[in-house]
Chains A and B, each alone.
Chain A
Protein backbone atom coordinates (compact mmCIF):
# COMPACT_ATOMS: atom_id res chain seq x y z
CA UNK A 1 0.00 0.00 0.00
CA UNK A 2 1.02 3.57 -0.65
CA UNK A 3 2.71 5.34 2.28
CA UNK A 4 3.64 8.98 2.77
CA UNK A 5 6.33 10.08 5.23
CA UNK A 6 6.73 13.54 6.66
CA UNK A 7 9.94 13.40 8.64
CA UNK A 8 9.56 16.67 10.52
CA UNK A 9 6.72 16.41 13.00
CA UNK A 10 7.34 19.74 14.72
CA UNK A 11 9.28 22.70 13.34
CA UNK A 12 9.91 25.96 15.16
CA UNK A 13 11.34 28.93 13.27
CA UNK A 14 11.81 32.62 13.70
CA UNK A 15 10.28 35.05 11.19
CA UNK A 16 12.34 35.50 8.02
CA UNK A 17 13.95 32.07 8.38
CA UNK A 18 13.81 29.70 5.42
CA UNK A 19 11.57 26.66 5.51
CA UNK A 20 11.86 23.22 4.01
CA UNK A 21 9.46 20.42 4.95
CA UNK A 22 10.22 16.94 3.74
CA UNK A 23 7.78 14.54 2.11
CA UNK A 24 8.61 11.10 0.74
CA UNK A 25 6.28 8.47 -0.70
CA UNK A 26 6.55 4.83 -1.56
CA UNK A 27 4.64 4.36 -4.84
CA UNK A 28 6.83 3.79 -7.90
CA UNK A 29 4.36 4.66 -10.64
CA UNK A 30 2.77 7.89 -11.81
CA UNK A 31 1.77 10.10 -8.90
CA UNK A 32 -0.14 13.29 -8.25
CA UNK A 33 1.25 15.28 -5.33
CA UNK A 34 -0.27 17.83 -2.99
CA UNK A 35 0.55 20.04 -0.04
CA UNK A 36 -2.32 21.16 2.18
CA UNK A 37 -2.26 23.64 5.05
CA UNK A 38 -4.52 23.84 8.08
CA UNK A 39 -4.33 27.18 9.90
CA UNK A 40 -5.50 27.19 13.52
CA UNK A 41 -9.27 26.88 13.60
CA UNK A 42 -9.59 26.84 9.83
CA UNK A 43 -10.39 24.39 7.05
CA UNK A 44 -7.74 22.29 5.39
CA UNK A 45 -6.87 24.10 2.16
CA UNK A 46 -4.72 23.34 -0.86
CA UNK A 47 -1.33 25.08 -1.00
CA UNK A 48 -0.11 23.60 -4.26
CA UNK A 49 -0.31 20.51 -6.44
CA UNK A 50 1.71 18.64 -9.04
CA UNK A 51 0.21 16.54 -11.80
CA UNK A 52 2.73 16.76 -14.62
CA UNK A 53 5.16 19.12 -16.34
CA UNK A 54 7.61 21.41 -14.54
CA UNK A 55 8.67 19.60 -11.35
CA UNK A 56 9.03 22.95 -9.56
CA UNK A 57 5.55 23.98 -8.53
CA UNK A 58 4.59 27.36 -7.17
CA UNK A 59 1.63 27.71 -4.84
CA UNK A 60 -0.15 30.34 -2.82
CA UNK A 61 1.48 32.60 -0.22
CA UNK A 62 4.99 32.23 -1.61
CA UNK A 63 5.27 28.47 -1.14
CA UNK A 64 6.85 26.18 -3.69
CA UNK A 65 7.61 22.47 -3.91
CA UNK A 66 9.93 20.39 -6.01
CA UNK A 67 9.11 16.92 -7.28
CA UNK A 68 12.22 14.73 -7.48
CA UNK A 69 11.09 11.47 -9.01
CA UNK A 70 14.36 9.63 -8.37
CA UNK A 71 14.11 10.41 -4.67
CA UNK A 72 10.34 9.86 -4.38
CA UNK A 73 10.18 13.28 -2.75
CA UNK A 74 8.04 16.40 -2.89
CA UNK A 75 9.54 18.85 -0.41
CA UNK A 76 7.83 22.12 0.46
CA UNK A 77 9.87 25.32 0.64
CA UNK A 78 9.46 28.98 1.48
CA UNK A 79 12.43 31.35 1.48
CA UNK A 80 11.20 33.58 4.30
CA UNK A 81 8.44 32.52 6.71
CA UNK A 82 6.04 34.84 8.49
CA UNK A 83 4.25 34.51 11.82
CA UNK A 84 1.03 33.92 9.84
CA UNK A 85 2.52 30.72 8.38
CA UNK A 86 2.02 29.04 11.76
CA UNK A 87 -0.11 26.02 10.85
CA UNK A 88 -0.17 22.28 10.27
CA UNK A 89 1.11 21.15 6.87
CA UNK A 90 0.11 17.91 5.18
CA UNK A 91 1.66 16.20 2.20
CA UNK A 92 -0.64 13.97 0.16
CA UNK A 93 0.07 11.58 -2.70
CA UNK A 94 -2.33 10.04 -5.16
CA UNK A 95 -1.54 7.24 -7.55
CA UNK A 96 -2.16 8.48 -11.07
CA UNK A 97 -5.76 7.88 -12.08
CA UNK A 98 -7.00 7.08 -8.58
CA UNK A 99 -9.50 9.22 -6.72
CA UNK A 100 -8.25 9.27 -3.15
CA UNK A 101 -4.93 10.69 -1.89
CA UNK A 102 -2.93 9.21 0.97
CA UNK A 103 -1.95 11.81 3.54
CA UNK A 104 1.16 12.08 5.64
CA UNK A 105 0.91 12.56 9.39
CA UNK A 106 1.47 16.29 9.13
CA UNK A 107 4.09 18.78 10.30
CA UNK A 108 3.28 21.38 12.89
CA UNK A 109 5.05 24.66 12.10
CA UNK A 110 5.34 27.42 14.69
CA UNK A 111 6.84 30.73 13.60
CA UNK A 112 7.94 33.11 16.33
CA UNK A 113 7.61 36.83 15.57
Chain B
Protein backbone atom coordinates (compact mmCIF):
# COMPACT_ATOMS: atom_id res chain seq x y z
CA UNK B 1 0.00 0.00 0.00
CA UNK B 2 1.48 3.34 -1.01
CA UNK B 3 2.20 5.76 1.82
CA UNK B 4 1.36 9.41 2.18
CA UNK B 5 2.97 11.49 -0.55
CA UNK B 6 3.66 15.20 -0.55
CA UNK B 7 4.67 17.48 -3.39
CA UNK B 8 6.84 19.31 -3.89
CA UNK B 9 9.51 18.11 -1.49
CA UNK B 10 11.38 21.41 -1.49
CA UNK B 11 10.32 24.98 -2.21
CA UNK B 12 12.09 28.31 -2.11
CA UNK B 13 9.97 31.44 -2.15
CA UNK B 14 10.43 35.10 -1.35
CA UNK B 15 8.52 37.20 1.15
CA UNK B 16 5.10 38.27 -0.02
CA UNK B 17 4.63 35.38 -2.41
CA UNK B 18 2.08 32.63 -1.96
CA UNK B 19 2.58 28.88 -2.06
CA UNK B 20 0.45 25.76 -2.48
CA UNK B 21 1.47 22.39 -1.06
CA UNK B 22 -0.15 19.10 -1.97
CA UNK B 23 -0.78 15.90 -0.04
CA UNK B 24 -2.08 12.55 -1.28
CA UNK B 25 -3.26 10.34 1.59
CA UNK B 26 -3.11 6.58 1.86
CA UNK B 27 -5.86 5.00 -0.20
CA UNK B 28 -9.05 4.74 1.83
CA UNK B 29 -8.04 7.40 4.34
CA UNK B 30 -10.54 10.22 4.62
CA UNK B 31 -8.79 12.44 7.14
CA UNK B 32 -5.84 14.65 6.26
CA UNK B 33 -4.08 16.81 8.84
CA UNK B 34 -1.38 19.42 8.31
CA UNK B 35 1.40 20.31 10.72
CA UNK B 36 4.20 22.87 10.74
CA UNK B 37 7.50 21.54 12.11
CA UNK B 38 10.26 23.92 13.16
CA UNK B 39 13.39 23.30 15.25
CA UNK B 40 12.61 23.70 18.93
CA UNK B 41 8.84 24.05 18.39
CA UNK B 42 8.03 20.50 17.43
CA UNK B 43 4.89 19.89 15.42
CA UNK B 44 2.20 22.52 15.51
CA UNK B 45 -1.22 21.61 14.22
CA UNK B 46 -2.59 23.69 11.35
CA UNK B 47 -5.89 22.05 10.39
CA UNK B 48 -7.61 18.77 9.64
CA UNK B 49 -9.96 17.90 6.82
CA UNK B 50 -12.39 15.01 6.81
CA UNK B 51 -14.63 14.25 3.85
CA UNK B 52 -13.91 17.64 2.24
CA UNK B 53 -14.82 19.59 5.39
CA UNK B 54 -12.48 21.31 7.81
CA UNK B 55 -13.14 19.43 11.03
CA UNK B 56 -10.43 20.89 13.29
CA UNK B 57 -8.34 24.03 13.18
CA UNK B 58 -5.19 25.13 15.01
CA UNK B 59 -4.10 28.62 16.01
CA UNK B 60 -2.57 29.88 12.81
CA UNK B 61 -3.42 33.15 11.04
CA UNK B 62 -5.84 33.26 8.13
CA UNK B 63 -2.93 33.37 5.68
CA UNK B 64 -2.86 29.60 6.12
CA UNK B 65 -5.73 27.82 4.43
CA UNK B 66 -6.49 24.44 3.04
CA UNK B 67 -8.97 22.31 1.23
CA UNK B 68 -9.73 18.69 0.52
CA UNK B 69 -11.00 17.19 -2.68
CA UNK B 70 -13.49 14.39 -3.21
CA UNK B 71 -10.64 11.89 -3.67
CA UNK B 72 -9.31 12.94 -0.21
CA UNK B 73 -6.25 14.67 -1.64
CA UNK B 74 -5.56 17.90 0.19
CA UNK B 75 -3.85 21.17 -0.54
CA UNK B 76 -2.53 23.78 1.82
CA UNK B 77 -2.04 27.39 0.78
CA UNK B 78 0.00 30.08 2.47
CA UNK B 79 -0.45 33.62 1.21
CA UNK B 80 1.79 36.64 1.76
CA UNK B 81 4.71 34.56 2.92
CA UNK B 82 6.83 35.74 5.86
CA UNK B 83 10.35 34.70 6.81
CA UNK B 84 8.92 32.90 9.85
CA UNK B 85 6.93 30.58 7.61
CA UNK B 86 10.12 28.71 6.73
CA UNK B 87 9.52 25.21 8.05
CA UNK B 88 8.88 21.59 7.24
CA UNK B 89 5.18 21.12 6.49
CA UNK B 90 3.93 17.65 7.29
CA UNK B 91 0.78 15.99 6.13
CA UNK B 92 -0.75 13.03 7.97
CA UNK B 93 -3.62 10.83 6.92
CA UNK B 94 -5.86 8.47 8.84
CA UNK B 95 -9.15 6.61 8.51
CA UNK B 96 -10.67 9.46 10.47
CA UNK B 97 -11.88 7.95 13.71
CA UNK B 98 -10.65 9.12 17.13
CA UNK B 99 -8.74 5.86 17.68
CA UNK B 100 -7.17 5.63 14.24
CA UNK B 101 -3.43 6.11 13.84
CA UNK B 102 -2.04 8.99 11.78
CA UNK B 103 0.47 8.15 9.05
CA UNK B 104 2.87 10.90 8.08
CA UNK B 105 4.29 11.93 4.74
CA UNK B 106 7.90 13.01 4.13
CA UNK B 107 7.05 16.68 4.31
CA UNK B 108 7.61 19.73 2.14
CA UNK B 109 10.59 21.88 3.14
CA UNK B 110 9.63 25.53 2.56
CA UNK B 111 12.29 28.21 2.67
CA UNK B 112 11.22 31.85 2.54
CA UNK B 113 13.92 34.35 1.57
Residues of chain B contacted by A42 (CB below 8 angstroms): 106
Task: Please provide the chain B residues from 65 to 113 with a CB less than 8 Å away from any CB of chain A in the complex.
Answer: 90, 92, 96, 98-99, 101-102, 104-107
Tell me if B42 counts as interface (CB < 8 A to partner A).
yes
- Residue from the list A44, A101, A102, A105 in contact with B41, Cβ < 8 A: A105
Number of interface residues of A (CB under 8 A): 25
Task: Please provide the chain B residues from 25 to 45 with a CB less than 8 Å away from any CB of chain A in the complex.
Answer: 31, 33, 35, 40-45
Tell me if B16 counts as interface (CB < 8 A to partner A).
no
Number of interface residues of B (CB under 8 A): 26
> Nearest residue in B to A41 (C-beta to C-beta)?
B106
Q: How far is the CA of A105 from the CA of B44 in the complex (A)?
A: 9
Q: In the complex where A51-B99, A98-B98, A99-B48 touch, is A44 in contact with B56 (Cβ < 8 A)?
A: no
Residues in B lying within 8 Å of A, measured CB to CB = 3-4, 31, 33, 35, 40-45, 48, 50, 55-56, 90, 92, 96, 98-99, 101-102, 104-107
